[in-house]
Amino acid sequence: MGETTQTTRSPLWATTVGSDPAFLLARANALSLAAATASLAPLGLKVRSYSVLALAAADARPTQRELSEFLRLDPSQIVSVLDDLEHRGWVRREPDPRDRRVNVVVATDAGRAACARARSAVEDVQRAHFAVLDDDEAETFTALLRRLAGAGE
Partner DNA sequence: TATTGTTATACTCTATAACTATA
Partner DNA sequence: TATAGTTATAGAGTATAACAATA
Q: Which residues bind its own copies (CB under 8 A)?
A: 7-33, 36, 47, 51, 54-55, 58, 60, 62, 66-67, 69-70, 72, 122, 126, 129-130, 132-133, 137-138, 140-142, 144-153
Query: Of 39 and 103, which CB lies nearer to DNA in the complex structure?
Result: 103
83 sits near DNA (criterion: CB under 7 A): yes
130 binds, among DNA, its own copies, none (CB under 5 to 8 A by kind): its own copies
DSSP the chain: --GGG-----GGGGSSGGG-HHHHHHHHHHHHHHHHHHHHGGGT--HHHHHHHHHHHTT---BHHHHHHHTT--HHHHHHHHHHHHHTTSEEEEE-TT-TT-EEEEE-HHHHHHHHHHHHHHHHHHHHHGGGS-HHHHHHHHHHHHHHTTTT-
Residue 103 in contact with DNA, rule: CB under 7 A: yes
Per CB under 7 A, does 46 bind DNA?
Answer: yes
Judged by the rule CB under 7 A, the positions of this chain that interact with DNA are: 46, 48, 63-65, 68, 73-79, 82-83, 93, 99-103
